[in-house]
Amino acid sequence: MAFAAVARHLSFAQASRELGVAPSSVAKSVARLETRMGVRLFVRTTRSVQLTADGEELFRRCSDVLAQVTELEEMTDVRSSEPTGILRISAPIGYGGKVVIPVIGTLLAQHPKLRADLRLSDERVDLARDGLDGTLRFGKLPDSSLIAREVDRQPLVLCASPGYLAQRGTPTTPADVADHDVIAFRMPGSGRDRPLEFRVEGETIAPTFTPRMWLSHGESLVDAMLADCGLAQVPQFMAQDALAVGRLVELMPTLRPEPLEVNLVTSGGRTLMPRVRVLLDALRLRTGYAKANGMPQ
């Protein structure tokens, strides 16, 4: 397991953080493995760590063994009612900071044997490669090999600053956006622009427009709107503080599209480890999803 962690990160320091042990312990474990196998697994310099050809072959072959070890650990964990171990989760930067971190803080206070490794990134992650228990993702899940459990539904709000609207006027219909400066969100996973969507007479429409600016970081859309750069459509949690004090104005609120799903995505079977189960329940409680869907509080 120490070898696999170093191979994933190409870093003894990052491997030690993943495993929750000292870097020296990781280095000794890898050294013992190299001695026992009689091969060199890594090329180490002061600046980098790289797999040798033997190391690459071992990493490829050991994936099945590690999966079996993980399955045994999960079986033991599932039988225990107390969440233990390291909860390894990734989340988008903005949602992670505003929603997930407070939830994890509460869980750590409630469960002394639980630790957390939260990785904030707007890029798509690979659960197996990155050694994660789960990830928070926006939108429907296209990958059928993973399991998505909904924890939140975020309304999508079209906004602009009072300064921008004073200069350019206020759009009142979806067709009007073509005459405005639109700040487009370039989705990191696909590189495509996210469309502007509206719900009109029960149908979802996406009018065509030519972006004036592209951004690939969600919270930067709000920053750009506050700088009078144009209008953008964002999940409500990103804009709610600015909307509350009047720094942003919601446009066409009666034409909001369907809310954006937020899912906790996991791999493997449908039985969750206790540390993932408590996170799922706590997120649903925090976002109001549990109450809205008649779940136990």
57-79 tens-digit pLDDT = 888 888 667 766 655 555 555 55
Distance CA 196, CA 221 (A): 13
Report whether pLDDT(139) > 80.
Answer: yes
Distance CA 261, CA 256 (A): 14
Give the pLDDT of residue 46: 78
Distance CA 35, CA 12 (A): 18
For residue 78, give both structure tokens. 């599932």
Which tens digit of pLDDT belongs to each residue from 231-290? 999 999 999 999 999 999 999 999 999 999 999 999 866 678 899 999 999 999 999 887
Mean pLDDT of the chain: 88
Per DSSP, helices labelled H in 44-100 are 53-61, 63-79, 93-95
Distance CA 39, CA 56 (A): 12
Give the pLDDT of residue 269: 64
Looking up tokens 């639109």 gives 182
Distance CA 264, CA 151 (A): 7
